[in-house]
Each structure stands twice: as C-alpha cells, then as structure tokens.
Amino acid sequence: MSISLTEKLFTIFDQSSMILQEELAFTYLEALAETGDNLFQDKILQEGLSEISKKRLEKEYAELNLVSYTSEEIRRAYQLAILKGMKGTTQTNHQMTPDSIGLLIGYLTQKFIGDRKQLSILDPAVGTGNLLSTVLNMYEQTSAIESFGVEVDEILIRLAFIGANLQRQQTEFFHQDALAPLFIDPVDLVVCDLPVGYYPNDAQASEYELKATKGHAYAHHLFIEQGLRHTKPGGYLFFLIPNGLFESEEAEKLQHYLKDTAYIQAVLQLPFSIFKNDQAAKSIFILQKKSPETKAPKEVLLASLPSLTKKAALDKMLWKMEKWFKDNK
C-alpha cells in the first residue's frame, strides 16, 4: 500500500529527529527543531556529529524536495512529529490546538471577514503555531497576509518559527510574555487558543481593566482584553474558551467589559468527544470590536456542534449557520 506525501514527510522528520536526539542528547522536540532547520537550509547544520550519523541524515534528506509539498502537507507532517514529541510529557500549557478545531476556525474566519486582498492576523498565544498556520494556509491563495505570533516558551516559539519557514509563511514572531506591552500594530483578525489559569504577574495585570478584584487575575480574561487592544475597530477575534468562562467570580466584570468594547457574534460549543473530559471542553467565542460603522447582529449565533465525524448532523448545523450569516451579515 502506497503512503501519502504527508506520511512520507513525517517519516523523514521523525527518523532524522531520532538520529539527532540520540547523537546530541536532545529531547525529541529539540531534535525536531534542528531537523526543521536542516531541511529549510538544505544542509546539515549540527557540528560534532559522527560520520555514521551524518550518513544516516544524508540518506534521509537525499530524495526530499520541499518545494514539491504543499504548505498543508508540510504542516500536517510537522504537526504529527510535534504531537509525537509532546506525547506523555506535555505540560497543560503546551497542548496543541487539534486539527479539526483549527480547520473549523479557519472556515469561520472566512465566513465572517469575507474575501480580503490584504489581511493582518495575530495569535497572542501562538504555541507551536499550528492554529495560526492552519488559518494562514486557508488564505494563502487569496490574500497578501501579515501575520504575527507571540509566545513566552522558548522551545514552542522555535518550533513555530521553523514550521512557518518550512511552510513559506511570512510570520513575525515575538518571544515574550504576551500580556506585557506588544509592539504590534492593530490587526484585522485575532485567533487564539486561550491559555487558561491564573496570571502570576500582579504588577503587569494591574495595567488591565480585567485585573482581579483580589488575588491573581485570570490569564484568559487578560488575553481577551489584550486581543481587543490589538484589533482594529471593526476587526474580528476568534477565541477558544473554556465552557465555564462566564461562570467564574470575575465573569460579571468580563461581561461589562465586552459590552463596552465588542459585539458578541457567536458562541459555538464544541463536541465533548474532542476533549479528554467534560471539564476540558471548550467553545469557539467570536467577537467583533466596536466601531462607528459596526452594529450588533440581530441575534447571537448560539450552537452546540455535533461530532465532527457525523456528516449528516454536521451538514445540518452548517446549513443553519449559513442561514444565520444570510440574516445577520
């Protein structure tokens, strides 16, 4: 049975990373980043490798021509390798946004913002870049895109940077705390899988309207405010939020803030089957930043999405969403 191009490329990522992991005593993810650099530069960059390891790597790279792969094939193969490296060792804040969710968010961004000749996108918690890359690949044939990613974790942002290089995406990355001041101009579109939890930097949190009444502020609340700060008037924000976002003790403050700054366009509860447990379940939360030219939708799009494997139920839901767009956009 023949293997797909994605599987073939994953095998090259995987085998090469294991060679470097063994030879240089790296973690798998560190070795994957080195492998990505090698493939992008089209040469072996590591010094001090044994001749045996060099020959093994040369054999892996010998027949590879990245230009023959689409950006999506590269993204999927790279994602599979990252998932392997994260398996069993990933911290909570290192979880990758699932492919199915990224593709759905990409579809929804196109429905809301329509065709644009130019587009600017920010992911303030970019992680390994999978969500941002998925959305970018859906626009690569139609728009001139400026994209920005922010991430505090060194290995994650390096993986995101290398992934963008391999996919020929012109993304500018910032290695910093995303809740500190960002030197990024407002964008048309923000996408973000919100980091959930408390933000320990109380001094920095005090600069936000959504700072906590007492104790530490919720990081996910601050990310929403930071996203709105860096969105153009009339621009859109697509957040992956915990289902209990509006059930916390700070929820009332968040509701007042959103009432003043944005129009809620949609809350789409994702299927519980996607997540490990019900407590981890999330929804897609869609906002439009207020401007003199914008107005609230006639009604907010509220829906519980069926399992993404149930085609008939999903088609019915997509039909209902299309009707909502016709009536409200």
Q: Output the domain CATH number for residue 136.
A: 3.40.50.150
Q: For residues 125 and 194, give the distance between their C-alpha atoms in angstroms, rounded to a whole number.
A: 7
Clarify whether residues 16 and 152 are in a common domain.
Answer: no
Q: What is the pLDDT of residues 208-217, one digit of tens each?
A: 999 998 899 9
Residue 232, SS3? strand
How confident is residue 91, by pLDDT bands cut at 50, 70 and 90?
Answer: low
Partners of 120 in beta bridges: 146
Clarify whether residues 206 and 67 are in a common domain.
Answer: no
Q: Is the pTM of this model over 0.75?
A: yes
pLDDT at 143: 65
Query: Can you tell me the mean pLDDT for 186-201?
Result: 96
Clarify whether residues 324 and 208 are in a common domain.
Answer: yes
Q: What is the pLDDT of residues 100-155, one digit of tens each?
A: 889 899 999 999 998 788 899 999 999 999 999 999 998 876 668 999 999 999 99
Q: What is the pLDDT of residues 244-266, one digit of tens each?
A: 899 888 999 999 999 999 999 99
Last residue of a domain, one of 86, 104, 134: 86
Domain count, the chain: 2
| Cα separation values, 85 from 2, 18, 25, 26, 90, Å | 25, 10, 14, 11, 8
Clarify whether residues 127 and 75 are in a common domain.
Answer: no
Over 50: is that where the pLDDT of 1 sits? no
Residue 92, SS3? helix
pLDDT at 221: 97
Clarify whether residues 243 and 264 are in a common domain.
Answer: yes
Clarify whether residues 293 and 231 are in a common domain.
Answer: yes
More reliable by pLDDT, 5 or 202 = 202
pLDDT at 2: 53
Q: For residues 290 and 292, give the distance between their C-alpha atoms in angstroms, rounded to a whole number.
A: 7
Query: Can you tell me the mean pLDDT for 73-83?
Result: 94
| Residue 53 domain boundaries | 5-86
Which amino acid does the sequence have at 167? Q
Clarify whether residues 225 and 303 are in a common domain.
Answer: yes
**Rg of the chain (C-alpha set):** 21
